[in-house]
Amino acid sequence: MKEETLDCLGEACPVPLVKTQKALEKLDVGDVLIVQIDHSCAMKNVPEWAREAGHNVEIEEVDDGEWDVVIEKVK
């Protein structure tokens, strides 16, 4: 299992979502992508998309208005 971090701090939608989709394409099943975001729109869209795509998602608030969206690729 590999773990990668994607820094999307300071970026507004749809940039974090597009970067997340491209990064996940490069990962293998079982790998984990940690997406760092600080935009409320991305905070909604990235986890929603990942869940709909069938991946496991956890959200950790690391600071006020800053989150790590942890996505485990499952397919």
Q: Domain spanning 3-72: which superfamily?
A: TusA-like domain (3.30.110.40)
Active site annotation includes 13: yes
Those residues with Cβ within 8 angstroms of residue 24's Cβ, 6 or more apart along the chain or in another chain: 33, 50, 53, 55, 71, 73
pTM of the complete model beyond 0.85: yes
Could you tell me the CA-to-CA distances from 73 to 20, 39, 43, 51, 65 in Å, in that order? 11, 23, 18, 10, 25
List the catalytic residue out of 3, 10, 13, 14. 13
Residue-wise pLDDT for 4-56, tens only, equals: 999 999 999 899 999 999 999 999 999 999 999 999 999 999 999 999 999 99
